[in-house]
Amino acid sequence: MANITKKVSWSSRGDDRGERTPLLNGAEEAKYNKQDIVRSRPKEIPHNEKLLSLKYESLDYDNSENQLFLEEERRMSHMPIAAGSGIPQIKCYLNGVKIPRVVRLKTLAIKVFGVICSVAGGLAVGKEGPMIHSGAVVAAGVSQGRSTSLKKDFKIFEYFRRDTEKRDFVSAGAAAGVSAAFGAPVGGVLFSLEEGASFWNQMLTWRIFFASMISTFTLNFFLSIYHGKPGQLSSPGLINFGRFDGDSVQYNLYEIPLFIIMGALGGMLGALFNVINYWLTIFRIRYVHRPCLQVMEAMLVAAVTATVSFAMIYFSNDCQPLGQDSTEEYPLQLFCADGEYNSMATAFFNTPERSVRSLFHNPPGTYNPITLGLFTLAYFFLAVWTYGLTVSAGVFIPSLLIGAAWGRLFGILLSYIASSQSIWADPGKYALIGAAAQLGGIVRMTLSLTVILVEATGNVTYGFPIMLVLMTAKIVGDYFIEGLYDIHIKLQSVPFLHWEAPPTSHWLTAREVMSSPVTCFNRVEKVGRIVDVLSNTSTIHNGFPVVVDTTDNDDEPGKICGLILRSQLIVLLKHKVFVERASSRLSQRRLQLKDFRDAYPRFPPIQSIHVSQDERECMMDLTEFMNPTPYTVPQETSLPRVFKLFRALGLRHLVVVDNENRVVGLVTRKDLARYHVGKDGLEELHLAQT
């Protein structure tokens, strides 16, 4: 058995923790001192995957059931309250990790503007990821009834100002985003279930369903006005792949092995995509971290994309006659003879979703196999290079496009093999299957992707083949490397908790995992000590067990009686809730939950709170404000059990106690996320203040 010892390296970055994280897709590096950064930024940033970053704090998905909360619950009548992608980032948020600025209004504005430019600019990107992210931001914002960016508080929905409620809104927002993007309300719900929400319950299901429903209706309503037919609610989603219907929609038993082969191919190509993108992302983290370099890279990619597209069209001699049944809206003649259009241009010069649609539905014979082969190759590398660039970009549509191209090629090759009159080798059908296989191979979604594709193509017949290829693609892809989103989460050193604890971790117990000794507070604590502990920049803890007042015997840990958060202590210090002031009637009123909610989610730093020398001598009674029943476990609890508690309850702190209920250790998310299975069995990541 390996002897696992805990290593924590604290760098001297002090208190700038957290706020400097760029979004994974790299949005804004905000308002910190630029000069400092330029000066202190080394040319190469050493990147080590075996690290877990301490800069990511957790969200509080466990309610603090303190006295104030219970009083409010008692007072509350039931009515009024009840009435009331960044895909990887959203995934992390819903898992319980606070990714700075992920649900801010500013992020939304930049995201929307960015995605318009990147899609219209012809990059190999899609708009669905940003739409899902936007849905989540809107939900997070609306649910709070205020915007800190706009400095406006509408004084509504105050009940929702806590992590648990906001999380549910974000889940629903993401679902609404999918729903609007693909016109897939059920797919949206399933997307939230499969990819997003780490914590799921019955209530959430129908809330998300409701959000999805409203989103579809709203979209349809406004689209009907946009199309000049107000009231006609049958518009498809914003990304539309056209309907598969008619007699050609069929498949046969003997095609099943072909679908499985395509699924496997998709899994392998997806894994290749992920591996290349993984190396590229590491390169970017190391060398392309300066904003000017990031802008230059984006410009380079845009230039190369345009050049490659144009060169491909220029050298292509795939000219197709402009017949009656041509579905092209804007066929491009370019260098073709009159009455003909260039097939390569159809693939390159349209928006990616439009190209997908053409590949699905254009009649057989509209694409040359060489055109499709070259297009797949070129677009594959452009898409790999583009994902992770510091622009708003989704990976769904480019993946579908790559898959549709090689799927159609597969179909054409099949029709060469099959007898000429057979109708089963319809290239459009294989384009759809290829698209599913490629996307499944990259993102490894199964359930939700099936439903999204079924809804987006308005066809249930292909449900089974799509399920089959997605399963195959996932199994084959997982054999080589994780899904793209997971790779990016890992590369950012986010303490993400997966569904299960690492398989070989049963022999580890809470005693080995926990931190000890634990910084605790007495139930009635001296203000000076609280301020000192909170201001200590070498150990920035966010949760503190509260113990029954101990005598001066320091060796013996105290008995647990509660848990209090840094944010709560800060609000208490700000309002000077001291025992002495209460008894001398100096304080105007009792603190209420509202005071905590008003400060949520950006609690001021301890440095901004002034405590005079006299006040340092005062006492603070934490009884009313602490969570009096924190979850505790005995020291012998195995890691998987601790993991399960964290995962199922969305915990942030778990106190480890001995058999007399004395606090002996504390476990947080990072203590658990540190363990993972590597090549040589169970490995331990290091915690670092990076």
Q: Which of 358, 534, 420, 494 is nearest to 56 (CA)?
A: 494
Give the shortest CB-652-to-ligand ATP separation in angstroms: 6
Are the beta carbons of 54 and 689 closer than 8 angstroms? yes
Are the beta carbons of 49 and 684 closer than 8 angstroms? no
**C-beta closer to Mg ion: residue 57 or 158:** 57
Give the shortest CB-285-to-ligand ATP separation in angstroms: 22
Query: In Å, how far are 80, 281, 286 from 44, measured between CA atoms?
Result: 55, 14, 5
**633 near ligand ATP, judged by CB under 6 A:** no
Bridge partners, residue 662, by sequence: 559
Binding-residue pattern over the window 42 to 81 for ligand ATP, x denoting contact by CB under 6 A = ------------x--xx-----------------------
**133 near ligand ATP, judged by CB under 6 A:** no
Query: In Å, how far are 27, 88, 283, 472 from 437, measured between CA atoms?
Result: 30, 21, 28, 8
Strand, coil or helix: 147: strand
Total residues binding Mg ion (CB under 5 A): 1
**C-beta closer to ligand ATP: residue 380 or 544:** 544
Identify residues 57-116 at the interface with Mg ion (CB under 5 A): 57
**C-beta closer to ligand ATP: residue 474 or 670:** 670
**666 near ligand ATP, judged by CB under 6 A:** yes
DSSP structure string for 240-309: ------STT----GGGHHHHHHHHHHHHHHHHHHHHHHHHHHHHHHHH--SHHHHHHHHHHHHHHHHHHH
Give the shortest CB-520-to-ligand ATP separation in angstroms: 7
Give the shortest CB-601-to-Mg ion separation in angstroms: 15
Identify residues 485-524 at the interface with ligand ATP (CB under 6 A): 515, 518-519
Q: Which of 438, 402, 410, 425 is nearest to 124 (CA)?
A: 402
**C-beta closer to ligand ATP: residue 437 or 563:** 563
Are the beta carbons of 352 and 398 closer than 8 angstroms? yes
Tokens of 669: 């998310």
Q: List the single partner that 596 binds among ligand ATP, Mg ion, none, CB under 5 to 8 Å by kind.
A: none
**544 near ligand ATP, judged by CB under 6 A:** yes
**C-beta closer to Mg ion: residue 429 or 653:** 653
* Rounded Cα gap, residues 218 and 207, in angstroms: 17
Total residues binding ligand ATP (CB under 6 A): 16
Give the shortest CB-595-to-ligand ATP separation in angstroms: 21
Q: How many Cβ atoms are within 10 Å of 607's Cβ, its own excluded?
A: 10
Q: List the single partner that 544 binds among Mg ion, ligand ATP, none, CB under 5 to 8 Å by kind.
A: ligand ATP
Are the beta carbons of 409 and 265 closer than 8 angstroms? no
Q: List the single partner that 62 binds among Mg ion, ligand ATP, none, CB under 5 to 8 Å by kind.
A: none
Q: Which residues contact 86 (CB under 8 A, 6 or more apart)?
A: 23, 24, 25, 27, 102, 107, 111, 129, 130, 132, 133, 136
**C-beta closer to ligand ATP: residue 470 or 514:** 514
**C-beta closer to Mg ion: residue 541 or 641:** 541
Give the shortest CB-57-to-ligand ATP separation in angstroms: 3
**88 near ligand ATP, judged by CB under 6 A:** no
Residue nearest to Mg ion (CB): 57
Ramachandran assignment for 350, one of left (phi > 0), alpha (psi -120 to 50 degrees), beta (any other): beta
DSSP code, position 549: P
Identify residues 638-657 at the interface with ligand ATP (CB under 6 A): 652
**C-beta closer to ligand ATP: residue 54 or 131:** 54
Query: HSE (CB half, 13 Å, CA atoms) of 638?
Result: 11
**C-beta closer to ligand ATP: residue 100 or 263:** 100
In the complex, the residues that contact Mg ion under the rule CB under 5 A are 57
In the complex, the residues that contact ligand ATP under the rule CB under 6 A are 54, 57-58, 515, 518-519, 541-544, 652, 666, 668-671
